[in-house]
A and B are shown apart, each in its own frame.
Chain A
C-alpha cells in the first residue's frame, strides 16, 4: 500500500477531519469547563472528568461498531483487561503486598511509571483482541453478525468471571485493587491528550481506505466482497484501533477512580457506553460525542431527581408528591428507557452519520474548483487480452441438479449473452463464476489459471466483477463514494489496467448531477446505472451483468444496452450478460449461449441461436405464446 493510498483524498481526509476532531474536542472540553465554572462545585468537576473519560471509551467503541456495523458488548471487557493490567503494573509494591501478596509471576514487585503501564496494558489488550478478532471473523462470516455479537458478550463475561474469581491477582469481588492515596491524576492534561488523540484517530480511521472499505461492507457485505473488499481484514483493523483507544480510556478511568472492581467494567458500564453511542448516532464520531454529552446531562438530571430534597441550578424543588416515582437510582431506568426509545423510534440516533468536518467542508469548499463535469471518456483501443472459460460444471442443491455439464467461454472485447427461461440455472452459473457457489464437478479458468476455488473478493481483484439482479448498492454512501470504493480496490489490485477517473465514470453513467446524493435516495434506473459505473471503476477484465434491465421499460432497456456497451468499451472489459429477455440479449450480444434445465443446449451468433430448433422448443415456444 503506498502512502497516498491510505487516504483517498488527502486534504479533505486528513486536514478537515483533524479540524472536525478539534471542534469536537473544543465542544467537550469547553462545554465541560463552562459547566464547571457556572456550578463551581467539586462534584461538577468530577462529573466533567467522568464525561471526558467516557467520551474516550465511547469514541473508541464507535471506531469498531460504527464502521463495521457489528454490535459489540465486548469492548468494556477489553476495558477490564486493560484496567486490571494497568493497575497491576502501576500500583506500588507496598500497596500490592497488602492487597494481593500471593500474586504469581513476581507481579507484586513490578513497579512501572503510569505511562509505561498504560502502554503495556494496551499491548496486552491488543494481543487478546487479535485472538478474539479471529473468532469474530470466522463466526461472523459463517453465521452473521449475531454470532459475532454473542462472542463479544462471552468476552465480557469471561473477563468479569476471571476478575471475580481470581483474587490472587485481581483482589476479587469486594476488595478489588486500589492505589495509594494521592495516586489519582494530577489535573486533566493526560485526559485531554488522550481525548484529542481518540477523536483524531476515530475521524482519520473513518476517512481512511480501511475505514471506507469497512463502511462499504457494513452497508452491504456481499456487494463489498463482490467488489474485491475482504471485510474480515478491515474489521480486524477497526477492532485493533478501537481496542487500543478503549484500553487507554480504561486505564485513565482506573487511574482517575483510584481503584478497580469487577463490576466497574461490566453490564452497567456496557449499557451506559452503548446508550451514549446510539443516542447520538453510532455511525459518526460527532454522534458519539453528542451522545456522551446528552446522556451525561440526562443521567445527572435523573440522578438528582431521584435524590430527596435536591435543587436544580439553585432552585429548590419540592418533589414530595412525586417521591413514589423519583427514587434513588432513577438514572438506570432513564438509561434503559433511552435505549429502548431510540431503538424503537430512532435507531440511527440524533445525528446518524452527520460529521462536523464534512459539514464544514461542504460549507467552505463548495464553490471551489474540481467540481465541473469531466469530459466524456473515449473508448479504449488497446484492450489487454483476457479469456474466461467454464467447463463441465455440475452444481447440486440437495437432490436438485441446478447445473449439469454447463460450460461457456468469453473473450475480451466481445459481449456474450447467456439466456434461458426462469429456473434454467443462469444465476447459479453466475454464482459459480463469482465464487459464491462451489461446483461439485468441473472448473473455470481465467486467462488459463484455475479460479474454481477462489473467494468472491479474490475473483473481483482478479478482474471478474458482477452486478446483482436485485440491486446491491452501499446505501448510506454517496454516488461518488460508491464508485470511489471500487476505485480504491482497483488502485491496489488492478494496477496492470488503465484506471479511469471516477468522476468521469459517474458523468459517463449520467449521474453527475446526483454525485453527492446517497445511493439509497436514487430511483431504480439510476441505481442500475450506478451499479454499472461502480463495477466499471474496478477496470474488470470481464463484467458479469445479472439481468441488468429487469424492471426497466423497453425504452430504458435500450438505453441500458447502449450504456453497457459503452462502459465496457471504456474500461476494455469483456461482457457476460445474463437475462431471460430474448430481444434484449440478441440486441446486445455478439455470441449467445442458451441454458435450459442446467444444460447448454445451443450456442452461436444471435441469428444461429434463434434458428436452432432445440432453442425454439425449449425457450422461444413458451415466450412466443405469451
Chain B
C-alpha cells in the first residue's frame, strides 16, 4: 500500500514533466500539423546555457529564468530558420524537417561546443525528502507537481480567456478558416512556438535539475517522451496531451516496480511496446480527435 502510494507520487512527478512537454508538442501540432522531433533541442540548448552560467558562478535562482528565456528564444529561432519555410508542406516534409533540425542542432553542439558530457552541480534540495507518516515524499516531486498544476491552470486561462488563446484554438481546429476569419497566421504560429518553448523551458528546468548533466544528444529523451505522450493522448488534443503525459509517467514508474528484477532494465522497451499495442486497439489515442474526411 505504502509502496503503491510512493509509486503514484513518483509517477505523477515524472508524468508532470512529460505532460508539459507533450502540451508543447500538441500546441505546435495544432497550428502547423507538425510533429516536432526537434522539441527536445530547447532542453539541450538550455542545458548548455545552464552549464555555462553555473560555471560563471550564477545561482539556480538566476538560472531558472535563464533556462526559460533560452528555451523560448531557441524555439522561435528554430521556427524562423526552418519551420517557417515549410509551412503547409506535406506531413512527410514536415516530419523530416524537424528530424533534420534535431540532428543539425546536436551535430553543431557536438562539433563546436563540446563532445563530452558536461556535469554541473544540482541544487541541494533535489535529493531531499519529507516524511508524511511512513511515506517518504521527494521535495522535488512535490515542487514539480505543484508547478505543473499552476502552469496548466495558467495555460488553460491563456487559451480560454485571451484573444491569443482564442486565435490559437481556432487555428488548431481549422487553420485555413481561422485565417479567413482574420487570424494572423504569422503571429499565431510564432505565439504557438513561444508558448511551446516556454512549456519546454519549464519542463527543462526540472529535467536539467534532476539530470545534473547535459550532452549534445540530451534532447532525444525529452523529445521522445513529449511526442509519445502527445500521441498516447490523441494527436491534436491539448487535454489528451496532458493526460498522455501523466499516463506515460505513471506507466513507467509502475512497470519498473512491477516487472521482475531481470526485466526492470527493459522498462522503456516494454513501455514502447505497450504504446504500440494501445495503437492497435485504440488507433486514435486516449482522446480521439475525429479527423472527418472532407469530400
* A→B interface (CB under 8 Å): 69, 71, 73, 132, 134-135, 138-139, 141-147, 149-151, 153-155, 157-158, 161-162, 165-166, 222, 267, 271, 274, 278, 327-330, 332-333, 335-337, 339-340, 343-344, 347, 427, 430-431, 436, 468-470, 546
Partner of A165, one of B90, B104, B115, B269: B269
Asked whether, in the complex, the Cβ of B276 is within 8 Å of the Cβ of A132, the reply is yes
Bound CA–CA A146/B108 (angstroms): 27
Partner of A340, one of B101, B224, B234, B275: B101
Asked whether, in the complex, the Cβ of B107 is within 8 Å of the Cβ of A69, the reply is no
Bound CA–CA A328/B112 (angstroms): 10
Q: How far is the CB of B225 from chain A (nearest CB, A)?
A: 11
Q: How far is the CB of A104 from chain B (nearest CB, A)?
A: 11
Q: How far is the CB of A415 from chain B (nearest CB, A)?
A: 22
Please, which residue of chain B has its CB at the minimum distance from the CB of A157? B272
Bound CA–CA A139/B276 (angstroms): 9
Q: Which 3 A-B pairs have the closest CB atoms?
A: A336-B104, A142-B283, A339-B100
CB proximity to A under 8 Å, residues B244-295 = 265-266, 268-269, 272-273, 275-277, 279-280, 283-285, 288, 291, 293, 295
Q: With contacts A71-B91, A329-B110, A431-B295 known, is A138 near B235, CB below 8 A?
A: no
Please, which residue of chain B has its CB at the minimum distance from the CB of A161? B269
Q: Per DSSP, are chain B's interface residues mostly helix, strand or loop, or mixed?
A: helix
Contacts of A328 in B (CB 8 A): 111
Asked whether, in the complex, the Cβ of A71 is within 8 Å of the Cβ of B92, the reply is yes
Partner of B104, one of A143, A146, A166, A333: A333
Q: With contacts A158-B273, A343-B96 known, is A147 near B295, CB below 8 A?
A: no
Asked whether, in the complex, the Cβ of B295 is within 8 Å of the Cβ of A157, the reply is no
Among B81-89, B137-145, B182-190, B193-201, the stretch in contact with A = B81-89
Please, which residue of chain A has its CB at the minimum distance from the CB of B37? A153
Q: With contacts A135-B279, A154-B276 known, is A144 near B291, CB below 8 A?
A: yes
Please, which residue of chain A has its CB at the minimum distance from the CB of B235? A143
Asked whether, in the complex, the Cβ of B107 is within 8 Å of the Cβ of A274, the reply is no
Q: How far is the CB of A170 from chain B (nearest CB, A)?
A: 12
Q: Per DSSP, are chain A's interface residues mostly helix, strand or loop, or mixed?
A: helix
Asked whether, in the complex, the Cβ of A278 is within 8 Å of the Cβ of B96, the reply is yes
Contacts of A222 in B (CB 8 A): 293, 295
Partner of A271, one of B92, B103, B268, B275: B103
Partner of B103, one of A73, A147, A335: A335
Asked whether, in the complex, the Cβ of A150 is within 8 Å of the Cβ of B228, the reply is yes
Please, which residue of chain B has its CB at the minimum distance from the CB of A469? B295
Contacts of B35 in A (CB 8 A): 146, 149-150
Given contacts A155-B276, A158-B272, A340-B97, 6 further A-B contacts (CB under 8 A): A71-B92, A142-B283, A151-B276, A271-B99, A327-B111, A469-B295
**Can you identify 18 A-B contacts, CB atoms within 8 angstroms?**
A71-B91, A71-B96, A139-B283, A142-B288, A143-B235, A143-B285, A150-B35, A157-B224, A157-B268, A158-B272, A158-B273, A267-B103, A267-B220, A328-B111, A330-B111, A332-B111, A340-B82, A343-B86
Partner of B91, one of A145, A154, A339: A145
B93 within 8 A of A: yes
B49 within 8 A of A: no
